[in-house]
Amino acid sequence: MVWLSSQIAVFVVITLVLLIGSFLRVRFVRPNRALLILAVVFLCLTGLGGVQLLRNPPEKNKEIVDESTLDITPIRPTQTALMRLQSYWNSEESVTWPAAETLADLSEKAYLPPYMAMKEFESLGFTKVFPFVEGSMIGYIVSGEDVTVIIFRGTNFNEMSDWLANLSTSALQTPHGKIHKGFYSSYKAMKWQIEDILKECNTKHLWITGHSLGGALALVCAYDFADNESRPFDGVITFGQPMIARKDLAQYLDNVLVGKYARFVNRDDIVPKVPPNHDSCGSLVWFTDSGLKRSKNKAISYASSPDGVPVSAAVGSNLETEIQPLSEREFRQLQTKLKQENELAERLPDGTPTQMEEYPTAGPVDDHSMLEYVSRIRKLLGL
């Protein structure tokens, strides 16, 4: 009945016209009965509309909408994990990559016990979760819609000192330079599982990620995909990753992975500075106490030549920087110190330290926590 009150003006005009029309005849003998009846009808409608208007003032006549039924566009169009990994990105551009948050979250969840990790992956929209295991190394391939992510789990805090204390510096020769022997061998041992699982995934957007040792394996995997398998992928993003390549191979990786490879480093994390005699590559994103720092733009530094030889140097700036690796002497001193500390540490029968710390308060592995990386990336992206 709300429409009656909204049409009062129309009814009044029609009523007046009908009333006048009913008396307007050639000889003005008597009113036209039909027009007079219509005029009375519209007069009644006008009265009903007036009553409705008195009962419901104009401000109460607005249409009420159930907000729960509205299709509200979110402020952030890349809200879900899958949508973030479907977004455009370029590792050489400004650090506003939604994919970084999702890959950091996945790398952190990979440290959970397998049954818990798989549930967490599924809660993010990855309906297919495939673990792969080789000795003490664990990884996951998660897939949902047209997105697939290869996640290499790293070394947790309770194993970090042992891992660093025993980290070798030996290298293997590849067609493009020397690669770290341990990282390369570890990846090759699990490659067949990865290849078999990828056949089960509907993949349009393929990502590779990992933290710590997992970051090193992720980069080896990206190198293998780009150089040996010719398998396209959107990108590789690592967190607290040790170096894997000597100088020639690092230059080659900068070339073939330009725009597709970024590595995050948190403050004084020691792991990205090892092993010695290796070179870093990729687009550096470094959280420091004085602000965010980046490495030189690789798209400027390297041409697309197949041998990866730099053809022009990037123009430097005060914002550009690179983390300096430990020298051979510094690395040996670190390993000696860690071995001494490990010998004094109380351990369980299986060799696990009795003091299980998620956040060490001192030592060379400060700032290496994956939770710290997740927190800083979310803050950077305003999440």
Torsion of CA 296, 299, 305, 308, to 10 degrees: 30
Give every CB contact of residue 159 below 8 A, 6+ residues apart in sequence.
none
Residue 302 pLDDT more than 60? no
More confident residue, 9 or 359: 9
In terms of average pLDDT, the best of 23-37, 51-65, 287-301 is: 287-301
pLDDT reading at 335 higher than 80:
yes
Domain 81-381: give its CATH superfamily: Alpha/Beta hydrolase fold, catalytic domain (3.40.50.1820)
The answer to whether the beta carbons of residues 214 and 110 sit under 8 Å apart is yes
Share of the chain above pLDDT 90, in %: 57
Q: Which letter does DSSP use for residue 108 in this model?
A: H
pLDDT of the residue at 237: 98
Q: How far is CA 166 from CA 331, 333, 341, 367, in A?
A: 11, 12, 13, 20
The sign of the CA dihedral 328, 333, 334, 335 is: positive
- With 90 as the cut, is the pLDDT of residue 18 above it? no
The pTM of the full predicted model, rounded to 2 decimals, is 0.74
- Per residue in 128-160, pLDDT (tens digit) is 999 999 998 999 999 999 999 999 999 877 788
Q: Is the pLDDT assigned to residue 347 strictly greater than 80?
A: no
Q: Is 297 exposed, middle or buried, given 0-12, 13-18 or 19+ CB atoms closer than 10 A?
A: middle
Mean pLDDT of the chain: 80
Domain boundaries, the chain: 2-60, 81-381
pLDDT at 291 over 60: yes
**In the structure, what pLDDT confidence band is assigned to residue 303 with cuts at 50, 70 and 90?**
very low
